[in-house]
Amino acid sequence: MKLSIDKRFIETLRESKGQLKVSLSEVEKIYRLLESSHCRAIIMDRMCFIVFDEIVNVELAIEDYRRQKDLSFIESKNLEIINTTSTDKGYLAFLLNEAFQGRGFPGRLRRLLGLITPLFGLNILGYLYGNTSTIGDVFTGLLAAVSIFIAIFSLFVTSHDYMTRKKVSLFESGQLNYYFSVDKYVTKTGIIAVILSVYGLVLTSGGAAGSLYTTDIHNILIVLALNLTFVLVHIILRSMVEFYIVRPGKFIMADMKEQSLNDYRKSKK
């Protein structure tokens, strides 16, 4: 239902509280009728929420928001934008970042070698000793590892971890959304690894003995599924250590350092 926006409507908003769902055109009409047009816009989950100083108790939820350029009708000097989703570049970017991140070329090279080396070793062992039976056992082990990981990870994420992340500074900088996106992508990677493991078990069931590293299409699919599953499991386990053990530890140590310095300052007053 379209709103009838005039000066009387603005007066009503001044006395109102809560959230009002509006379109971009309606926000622009409201903006033109305000005396003080300064506002804060929070972009979150492909939605935009705006609060104007003059009607500070009313949150305008823009339903047809698509991109930041949609707010160009508001003067830049009056617009304070907090984009909480700017750090989420998508699932493919997450995977590439996991493979190539690091400080400078040496750091990225070490990161890449940390992934390639065990993958190369797996294929050497598979070439020398592997057949459909032994590779099937490998898929069983990978499937069990990923299934256990998903179960533990779900409990870990839904228990206490998010509570320690609820800081306005993290929300406004986009870091909080980044943490949530990592949770989502790590879980997604686990699900894909489970599916690939199941495919691998199907492909290796009832196969004949012998080397899998041939030009036979069936064997190529098995080796491809094995390598992809191994890479995904490697990313999952490494992400688990980095995002949920190492980095939280750094945050906690930084907080403790700040608290220790504050206590010292208080003792000297």
**pLDDT score of 221:** 87
Would you state the pLDDT for residue 121? Answer: 87
Task: Determine the pLDDT at residue 157.
Answer: 65
DSSP-based three-state secondary structure for 157? helix
Tens of pLDDT along the chain (269 residues) come to: 577 888 888 888 888 888 999 888 888 898 888 887 788 998 887 788 999 988 889 999 998 888 888 888 888 888 888 888 777 778 888 888 877 777 778 878 888 888 888 888 888 888 787 777 788 888 888 888 888 877 777 776 655 555 455 567 677 767 777 777 888 888 888 889 888 888 888 888 766 556 677 778 888 888 898 899 988 888 888 887 777 777 767 777 777 777 888 887 788 76
Any long-range contacts for 92-101 (C-beta under 8 Å, 24+ apart)? 94/181, 94/182, 94/185, 95/185, 95/189, 95/235, 98/235, 98/238, 98/239, 99/235
The CATH class given to the 7-83 domain equals alpha beta
pLDDT at 152: 75
pLDDT at 99: 76
Residue of 93, 100, 139, 136 lying closest to 116 (CA atoms): 100
pTM value is 0.69
